[in-house]
Amino acid sequence: MKKILSLLIAALLACTALAGCSSSEKAVSTDGSTSMEKVIGALGEAFEEDTGITVTYNPTGSGSGIEAVGQGRCDIGLSSRELKDEEKAEGLVGTTLALDGIAVIVNTENTVDDLSLETIAKIYKGEITNWKEVGGSDAEIVLIGREANSGTRDGFESITDTEDACQYRQELTSTGDVITAVSQNPAAIGYASLASVKDSVKALKVGGVEASEETVKDGSYVIQRPFVLVTKKDTKLSDEAQEFFDWVTSSDAAETIASAGVVAVN
């Protein structure tokens, strides 16, 4: 009798374990932009709470995320820039999820509060090299930026018209690294997703306009870019990934997107 009971318990535990494995297989994998961490985190948490389906996120950068979906290594790629023509030619499709401001950030000790777009461009091209030239203290400006494959860098350089001209002191691989570097250097300037900016740094006004969700939405803050979901044409998403995609691109997800500090397009 004891032996039979033990076998029944073992069988029950095995079934429970199998059920758990089956449940854990229901997941949606995302890969790409480090700037989209906050919004994808908020969306993934809300989606899992509602459906029980996990959303995983691999913060590799926009270029890597685009490659990952193209190679079938994730369900949905994440890019903080529009797809290039050559990427579209490879069968990739970009769907804009939200708009995000790119904040120009300085150390909290910096007395400069406002720079024009033209002045920012001159700083990054090395034409202005000392903070005293723009009303700050007598200190050499330390230029912090993102790595070449970054969507944030692509957006910033496109808008400021500084492609291939920036004289970076440091090129870092994530939004968080840029914020940390600027927070630790009183002479530094950098750029980062508005949604990720913390009190450890100061976001400058650009042309007199504060970087905020409202000014991104009304277009008055000019340094902004899209957050894009990348999929592959003619490649069917899993049921779970399709459900997630449909929800995040609907008006039902707008409040969750706004909670992450960016502007939903729907």
Query: For 56-66, how does the pLDDT look when each residue is reduced to its tens digit (9 = 90+)?
Result: 999 999 999 99
| pLDDT at residue 4 tops 50 | no
Measured between alpha carbons, how far is residue 151 from residues 61, 102, 136, 174, 224 in Å?
A: 7, 11, 30, 11, 11
Q: Which amino acid is at 32?
A: G
What's the mean per-residue pLDDT of the chain?
91
CA count, 13 A, side-chain hemisphere, 32: 31
Band of residue 26 on the pLDDT scale cut at 50, 70, 90: confident
Distance between CA atoms of residues 118 and 121, nearest Å: 5
The pLDDT of residue 168: 98
| pLDDT at residue 17 tops 90 | no
pLDDT, tens digit (0-9, with 9 covering 90-100), for 165-184: 999 999 999 999 999 999 99
| pLDDT at residue 16 tops 60 | no
The pLDDT of residue 149: 86
Band of residue 224 on the pLDDT scale cut at 50, 70, 90: very high
Give percent of the chain with pLDDT exceeding 90: 87
Ramachandran angles phi, psi of 18, nearest 5°: -65, -40
- Single pTM value for the model: 0.77
The pLDDT of residue 11: 45
| pLDDT at residue 187 tops 50 | yes
The pLDDT of residue 138: 98
Higher pLDDT, residue 7 or 129: 129
Band of residue 22 on the pLDDT scale cut at 50, 70, 90: very low
Q: What is the CA radius of gyration of the chain?
A: 22
For the chain, list the domains and their CATH numbers.
28-99+226-264 (3.40.190.10), 100-224 (3.40.190.10)
Distance between CA atoms of residues 164 and 143, nearest Å: 14
DSSP result, 129-154? -BGGGGTS-S-B-EEEEE-TT-HHHH
pLDDT, tens digit (0-9, with 9 covering 90-100), for 30-45: 999 999 999 999 999 9
Average pLDDT over residues 207-230: 95
| pLDDT at residue 191 tops 80 | yes
| pLDDT at residue 25 tops 80 | no
The pLDDT of residue 172: 97
Give the least confident one: 19-33, 42-56, 180-194, 220-234: 19-33
pLDDT, tens digit (0-9, with 9 covering 90-100), for 90-140: 999 999 999 999 999 999 999 999 999 999 999 999 999 999 999 999 999
